[in-house]
Amino acid sequence: MALLEIRDLFAGYGKMAIIQGLSLSVDSGDFVALVGPNGSGKSTLIKTILGLTTIFEGKVSFDGVDITAGKPEKIANMKLGYVPQISNVFTDMTVKENLEMGGTTIRDRERRRAVFNRVTNLFPILDSRERQRAGLLSGGERQMLAVGRALMAEPKLLILDEPTAALAPIVAEQLFQKLAEIQSQMGVTMVLVEQNARKALSLASKGVVLIQGKKAFEGTPDEIMKDTEIIRMFLGELTI
């Protein structure tokens, strides 16, 4: 059984369907790169999984539970981590408080402490900045905090919406390496939305290309990189 299963989905805002008949399966252990032009519906698809849009048709299930049109608060309490494209940390709270907020669904105190240690081992900078307000972090540190915060809930699936968009290339590269580590060493299944399609595909086990709300292509990263038609549609992104 797939960890995340999306079937014949139509979803959007108000009466407008942005996602138009999309099906997608994500298996445990997958690293999925979700790529596509601006406005193709990547964020809308992610928000739909989290119950934040209107679903007109279709079905979404996670970890064997039907979450189609589930309440966002309920979905947020499942083992489904989400790092949004914007506003992904509480800027007025300290680094430590942000991380603790992420772990509130874990009841056992010892366990919470252990996860906290794992997250700060992964991102040592968060440990050294734990008393600092999140709003004072650099762009890269802030994204690490957003990822760390999501990891505090021990997600089975982590969905990231363009986490490197505002980062300098060298800082983006550091974050990409951490994401690869989270997937391979912590065993967290990953869906990564990325503008840098080439980079995302180089890390992923599977690539999905979204165009105008439809899945235009799905395959191994190699297959996508070799597809000249897809490269043509991505001109400027895959050709970096």
Q: Which spans of this chain sit near Mg ion (rule: CB under 5 A)?
A: 42-43
* CA angle in degrees (0–180, nearest 5) for 123-188-64: 145
State the binding partner of 149 from Mg ion, ligand ATP, none, CB within 5 to 8 A by kind: none
Print the binding letters for residues 1-30 with ligand ATP: x by CB under 6 A, - otherwise.
------------x----x------------
CB of 23 to Mg ion, least distance (A): 20
Contact 44, 240 (CB under 8 A): no
Closest CA to 157 of 222, 65, 21: 65
Beta carbon nearer to Mg ion, 84 or 148? 84
Give dist(CA 193, CA 24) in Å, integer. Answer: 14
Give the residue carrying structure tokens 């309490």: 77
State the binding partner of 189 from ligand ATP, Mg ion, none, CB within 5 to 8 A by kind: none
Residues of span 34-73 touching ligand ATP by CB under 6 A: 36, 38-44
Binding residues with ligand ATP: total (CB under 6 A): 10
Contact 17, 148 (CB under 8 A): no
Beta carbon nearer to ligand ATP, 47 or 129? 47
CB of 10 to ligand ATP, least distance (A): 13
Beta carbon nearer to Mg ion, 115 or 159? 159
Give the residue carrying structure tokens 């912590």: 186
State the binding partner of 13 from ligand ATP, Mg ion, none, CB within 5 to 8 A by kind: ligand ATP
Beta carbon nearer to Mg ion, 41 or 221? 41
Beta carbon nearer to ligand ATP, 119 or 204? 204
CB of 3 to Mg ion, least distance (A): 22
Contact 55, 69 (CB under 8 A): yes
Give dist(CA 206, CA 197) in Å, integer. Answer: 12
C-alpha distances in Å from residue 186, one per residue of 118, 122, 144, 175:
9, 10, 16, 15
In 162-226, beta strands by DSSP E: 189-193, 206-211, 214-219
Give dist(CA 121, CA 123) in Å, integer. Answer: 5
Beta carbon nearer to Mg ion, 89 or 115? 89
Which residues of the shown chain bind ligand ATP in the complex (CB under 6 A)? 13, 18, 36, 38-44
